[in-house]
Amino acid sequence: MEDNNIKKENKQKRIANFLYEVGTMRKLMRIHRQTLLTDDMSDSIASHSYRVAIISWFLAKEERVDPYKTVMMSLLHDMGEVRTNDHNWIHKRYVKIFSDEIIQEQLGTLPYEDLKNLISEYEERKSKEAILVKEADLIDQILLLKEYEWAGNREAHVWLHGKGKDRGNAQLKKLKTDISKRLGKAIYDVNPSDWWNDLWTSVNRK
């Protein structure tokens, strides 16, 4: 009985340590701040993962696949960056990431295998859910760029629309599924503040 209690205590401590590690995602700012020339301290790995999860839920419902899997994959998809930090496309030229090692040590040591299995499936990009989560990841970037463009960021405008002969809805070209392309186009078509157009009022409710 005493051995079982020790095992249960160690199990809960491992979960507790993991939850503290998850909490550090709030502290990790996404590194495209360097190349987007912005100092947005609200754009963390945690905030990004949250919106990716919401996007992937809608994509899963539209495509009639498992929304639980897409949401959980989304919440985990950048979990490894807790240990590697985020890298933009300049950094990736010079930095090697040991993803398999991170997945095993971070998620493979948890009491349940579910999270490791989900992120391994995401990394393989073979299931419909994994593909949609990657699409959701890209769609969140479109949303962010549109928000930055709306606030006057010229660099974000270039990223959104391209330049020269490639000018257009440049980010849409990265999307592969029809549902993602349709949602991406809708994001291009509306403005970040349109959601409250019919809600605002100058009169307090009585």
Q: For the chain, list the domains and their CATH numbers.
A: 2-86+93-191 (1.10.3210.10)
pLDDT at 5 over 70: no
Write down the pTM of the prediction. Answer: 0.92
DSSP state of 93: G
Q: pLDDT above 90 covers what percent of the chain?
A: 84
Q: Does the pLDDT at position 14 exceed 80?
A: yes
Confidence of residue 171 (pLDDT cuts 50, 70, 90): very high
- Is residue 165 over pLDDT 80? no
**Mean pLDDT taken over the chain:** 93
pLDDT digits (tens, 9 = 90+) for 74-116: 999 999 999 999 998 899 999 999 999 999 999 999 999 999 9
